[in-house]
Structure 1
Amino acid sequence: MILFTFNIMNIEAGVKNDLQITDEERLKITEDNTKAILRILDIHDVKASFFVEISIAEKLKNLIKAISSQGHEIAFYNKNSGLQEIENVKKNTQDFLEKQIRGIRQKDFKQPQESLKLLEFNYVSNIDNANILFPFKRLKRNTEITEEDGLSIIPESISPYFQLPYNDFMFQILPMKYYRNMVFETLKNDDFVLIYLNSWQFTDFKKYQFDIPYYRSLFSGRKMEDKLDALLTWINENDMATSRMKDYIF
């Protein structure tokens, strides 16, 4: 099973040449990037899970509604929010969607699992930092779903043969032929492949002069759209199964 997930968050980088990009403009970039992702998924009839960053979720109600109405899962990405904010945003989102939010994802700042369970989350999908040296830091990890503190803990996937993680940077930088081979070989060994991308990777960095490392701007924007389209085309041509996180787990 292939689990496609997308982290919906504003790009935090500064801007080159003393230019200014307002919070409203950053939010609009995030919305436009997410709509591009939705369009590609719709073309290929693939359903995914969208982890919306908690601090901007209340400002993206129309986008969240559109994501959900197209059959995708809404979950949360916790950047640095406190438990009270998480609880409030979760309740408000569930009320206007009339659906339960089951999943949460964290990276640098992690709330205790027992607290997340009390907020009635069902699964946690934490991720690690993904920079240019990341693949060399840790080559082995558990890739099986476990139960802890009443929660399903979903690990990041790693290729058993290439020993590379399926993080956002690997998708952006690897040639598609190499990436497809990773997916194919991993599915021979593991029950699922968890792929995650960030909405900001779909930004046109020639148009928006964000100050980001050169290696992070490579193959971004429209090239990311083309890579996602190419991967989904290959998956459908080979009749590979895809799923939302909550459907696969429960």
Structure 2
Amino acid sequence: MIFLSFDIEEFDNLFPCSQNFTLEEQMSVSRAGTTLILDLLKQKGVKATFFCTANFALHAKNLIQRMVDEGHEVASHGYYHNLFNPGDKKRSKEVLEELIGQEVVGFRMPNMMPVDNQELLDCGFKYNSSLNPTCLPGKYNNLGSPRRIFKEEGICQIPASVSPLFRIPLFWLSLHNFPMPLYKLLSGWALKKDGYLNLYFHPWEFIALDKDKLRLPFFVKMNSGDALLKRLDDLISFFQNKKIPFKCLKDCEAMFLEK
């Protein structure tokens, strides 16, 4: 099975260009990208998980409701994307649950940073998908972490997918930059080895990133906007043709913890 997830946040990432945006501009970028994602998933008949910051959700209530109406999972991405205060995780869960009228069971820390398991348990979360079990200099050094789903201190840990050998990350930048045959090969290899794929992306990747105000590195702009949307469409079709089901991460948590 395949788990697609999207980190839905205000566009305030660490690239300098995003700091030039007002809050409304940041929200506008993320709303536009999220709409494109939802349109594609609806067209393909695929369900996914949306890790939303409470801040974004309060500025895009119609999109949050659309996620619920179309059968997707809404999970927490914290209250803000790059501002962390005590109690924010619990507050984010409460805000999202009030908006969607459903329990929120999943959490992903912004920028896939480490997060305390006990804090997540105290907030009422059941799974955490904040681990990228690979090594990227200056960002991740998780080669010693489990590559597959595991339970730790009462929390189901669902790492992002990497290749079985060398732990090549299969995250958003890989879909931007790898030739599609290579990305499909690595993804298929991980799927065969692990029985699932956990892939994640962001809404701003699916809008045109070559505008003057969006001075992003080449490796981020590569195959962004419509090109990335087509790549994701191609990837989904590739696995649908193989009869591989797409699920929400809450289904994964239930399957692995209820065995």
For the criterion TM > 0.5, the same-fold answer is: yes
Aligned residue for 1:7? Answer: 7
Aligned residue for 1:217? Answer: 221
Aligned residue for 2:59? Answer: 59
CA distance in 2, matches of 1:133, 1:110: 16
Show CA shifts across 1:67-116 (max 9, x none).
Answer: 11110000111344334232223212212311000000014654421011
1:186 partnered with 2:212: no
CA distance in 2, matches of 1:212, 1:62: 29
Q: Which amino acid aligns with 1:86?
A: K
Aligned residue for 1:23? Answer: 23
Aligned residue for 1:101? Answer: 104
CA distance in 2, matches of 1:171, 1:233: 15
Report the more deviating stretch, 200-209 or 235-244: 200-209
Pair 1:74–1:175, CA change in 2 (3 A): same
Residue 164 of structure 1 aligns to a residue whose secondary structure is: coil
Aligned residue for 2:45? Answer: 45
Show CA shifts across 1:186-240 (max 9, x none).
Answer: 2221121110111121121233621221221111111111101111111111111
Question: Does the 8 Å contact 1:67/1:74 carry over to 2?
Answer: yes
The counterpart of 2:163, out of the listed 153, 159, 163, is 159
CA distance in 2, matches of 1:152, 1:186: 20
Residue 204 of structure 1 aligns to a residue whose secondary structure is: coil
* TM-score of the superposed pair, with normalisation by structure 1: 0.88
Output the aligned Cα RMSD: 2.7
Residue 60 of structure 2 aligns to a residue whose secondary structure is: helix
**Aligned residues: percent identity?**
25
CA distance in 2, matches of 1:108, 1:72: 21
How many residues of Structure 1 are paired with residues of Structure 2 in the alignment? 248
CA distance in 1, matches of 2:52, 2:248: 15
CA distance in 2, matches of 1:138, 1:178: 23
Report the more deviating stretch, 28-37 or 49-58: 49-58
Pair 1:132–1:205, CA change in 2 (3 A): farther
CA distance in 1, matches of 2:149, 2:133: 20
CA distance in 2, matches of 1:41, 1:187: 20
Question: Does the 8 Å contact 1:156/1:194 carry over to 2?
Answer: yes
Residue 196 of structure 1 aligns to a residue whose secondary structure is: strand
- Greater relative CO, 1 or 2 (CA 8 Å, sep 6+): 1
Describe how 1:134-173 pairs up with structure 2 within 5 A.
141-161=145-165, 163-173=167-177
CA distance in 2, matches of 1:46, 1:237: 13
